């Protein structure tokens, strides 16, 4: 588990490929409805949101295909690792996101799963547009150039 800029926030899982594959337009912090064994497993850092996505169904937002490993000390009441999890978003923000998704062909992508300063599990969700292949190449070129530039500046002075 990595530490953020704020020392009270504890990152559990991050979707690092999302910023490469998608153009992030707007972000939102959402709460998640979890069971007890899921929270304990998250505290141990056993989660993955790489293949996850969010969808709006019947006026509610759901996190689909996220993986939270079963709790090691759990018993027969342990949770299902890849179950749908409800996201807690206000109606106003949900309707704003739903409109942008329907109208402009966007998608909801989870970026980061973390515990906030109060110890509550939160998910950073983004409205994003998928990048085309040439956009991904351009991103890679910029990243490589910035690395090379930093290397040259470090060598010269």
Tokens (6 digits) for 76: 């027969």
CATH number (domain holding residue 20): 2.40.280.10
Assigned domain for 136 exists: no
The helix (H) or strand (E) run that includes residue 27 is strand 22-32
Domain count, the chain: 1
Decide: 104 and 129 in contact? Cβ < 8 Å: yes
pLDDT in tens, 40-88: 888 888 888 888 888 888 888 898 988 888 887 777 777 777 888 889 9
Assigned domain for 118 exists: yes
CA distances from 1 to 10, 43, 79, 92, 119 (A): 7, 9, 22, 32, 14
Assigned domain for 149 exists: no
Assigned domain for 146 exists: no
DSSP string, 93-105: HHHHHHHHHHHHT
pLDDT, residue 23, reads: 80
**Please, where are the H alpha helices in the chain?**
18-21, 36-43, 91-104, 133-156
pLDDT, residue 43, reads: 86
Assigned domain for 120 exists: yes
Assigned domain for 119 exists: yes
pLDDT > 70: percent of the chain:
95
pLDDT, residue 4, reads: 53
Q: Which residues constitute the domain of residue 119?
A: 10-131
Assigned domain for 73 exists: yes
């Amino acid at each position: 588990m990595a530490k953020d800029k704020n020392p009270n926030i504890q990152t559990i899982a991050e979707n690092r490929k999302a910023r490469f594959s998608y153009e992030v337009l707007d972000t939102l912090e959402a709460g998640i409805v979890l069971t007890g064994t899921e929270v304990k497993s998250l505290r141990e850092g056993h989660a993955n949101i790489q293949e996850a996505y969010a969808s709006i169904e019947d006026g509610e937002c759901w996190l689909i295909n996220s993986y939270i490993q079963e709790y090691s000390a759990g018993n027969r009441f342990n949770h299902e690792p890849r179950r749908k999890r409800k996201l807690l978003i206000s109606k106003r923000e949900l309707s704003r996101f739903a409109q942008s998704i329907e109208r402009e062909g966007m998608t909801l992508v989870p970026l980061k799963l973390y515990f906030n300063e109060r110890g509550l599990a939160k998910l950073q969700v983004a409205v994003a547009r998928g990048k085309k292949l040439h956009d991904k190449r351009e991103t890679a070129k910029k990243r490589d150039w910035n690395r090379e530039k930093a290397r040259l500046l470090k060598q010269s002075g």
